[in-house]
């Protein structure tokens, strides 16, 4: 099943102004359900721009982004945030955790609008903490977590809604080698759970991984392979 389809996608910043800049040019892409895809490309090539459009965080200038039969490029913002919350887990390079809250409460954050019983909240949160291997730091304020632990908390938060798609932007940029390899191992786990995962990275640790279904190279706003 095709889970994500991108057709003739363009992102032009500052269109029709002197500083107009084409960050994505005629991107076409089909990603099947359960695939692990790595997007590579040098700094400024357009990786984060593409990921943020796939995640409904920013809108394309032109083109279509069809996720599970819904063209999110055409959806009104109010629906997009709901769609994203239900279907997509986004792992940011800088983690974007809420300081002052514990790991548990950070992971709970995407669930707050759900009408769930206390027990149901707990089950979902514990499961996500467990997959991300951070359950032992549940009650710790996230400010006091190490870089690798913050990353695992961000992963748990991305998983708690049980999304079918996980997008990760430079997920190892703030990690040492040991924790980067733990992250890569986690990708294997996500594949077993049949998640569709797209990672944007220029970390060489992601090269030649046998469980990665596809490597996509972006250069100067275009897919080159
Ligand atoms: N809001 C914006 N306004 C204007 N230009 C932008 C904006 N956001 C990004 N760009 C430009 O678009 C290009 C692509 O940026 P993007 O962040 O997608 O690159 P990247 O491949 O993720 O790079 P990196 O590896 O450094 O994270 C860059 O040249 C950047 O300066
Ligand atoms: Mg980037």
Ligand nearest to the CA of 41: 1
pLDDT in tens, 16-52: 999 999 999 999 999 999 999 999 999 999 999 999 9
Mutate-to-test residue for ligand 1 from 12, 16, 44, 58, highest number of ligand atoms within 8 A of CB? 44
User: 192-211: per-residue pLDDT in tens?
Assistant: 999 999 999 999 999 999 99
Does residue 45 sit within a domain?
yes
CB 29 within 8 A of CB 191: no
pLDDT value of residue 154 = 96
The number of folded domains in the chain is: 1
In a domain, residue 93? The reply is yes
205 within a domain of the structure (yes/no): yes
pTM over 0.85: yes
Looking at the chain, the whole-number percentage of residues with pLDDT higher than 90 is 89
Q: What is the CATH number of the domain that holds 94?
A: 3.40.50.300
- What is the mean pLDDT of the segment spanning 109-118? 90
Choice from 19, 20, 43, 46 to test ligand 1 binding pocket (greatest atom count within 8 A of CB): 46
Tell me the C-alpha distance between 223 and 37, whole Å.
Answer: 13
Backbone angles phi, psi at 133, to 5 degrees: 60, 50
Is the residue at 27 inside a domain? no
CB distance 44 to ligand 1 below 6 Å:
yes
Structural domain containing residue 85: 35-61+74-224
pLDDT in tens, 61-74: 999 999 998 999 99
């Amino acid at each position: 099943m095709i889970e994500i389809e991108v057709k003739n996608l363009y992102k032009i910043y500052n269109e029709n102004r002197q500083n107009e800049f084409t960050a994505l040019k005629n991107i076409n892409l089909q990603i099947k359900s359960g695939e692990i895809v790595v997007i590579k490309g040098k700094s400024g090539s357009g990786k984060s721009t593409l990921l943020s459009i796939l995640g409904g965080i920013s809108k394309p200038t032109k083109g279509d982004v069809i996720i599970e039969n819904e063209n999110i490029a055409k959806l009104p913002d109010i629906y997009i945030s709901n769609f994203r919350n239900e279907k997509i887990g986004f792992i940011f390079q800088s983690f974007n955790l809420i300081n002052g809250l514990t790991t548990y409460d950070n992971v709970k954050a995407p669930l707050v609008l759900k009408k769930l019983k206390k027990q149901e909240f707990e089950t979902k949160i514990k499961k996500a903490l467990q997959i991300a291997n951070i359950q032992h730091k549940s009650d710790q304020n996230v400010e006091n977590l190490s870089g690798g632990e913050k990353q695992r908390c961000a992963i748990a938060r991305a998983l708690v809604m049980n999304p079918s798609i996980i997008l990760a932007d430079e997920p190892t940029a703030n990690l040492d080698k040991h924790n980067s390899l733990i992250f890569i191992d986690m990708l294997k786990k996500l594949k077993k759970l049949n998640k569709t995962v797209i990672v944007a990275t220029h970390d060489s640790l992601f090269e030649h991984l046998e469980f990665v279904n596809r490597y996509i190279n972006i250069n100067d706003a275009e897919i080159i392979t």
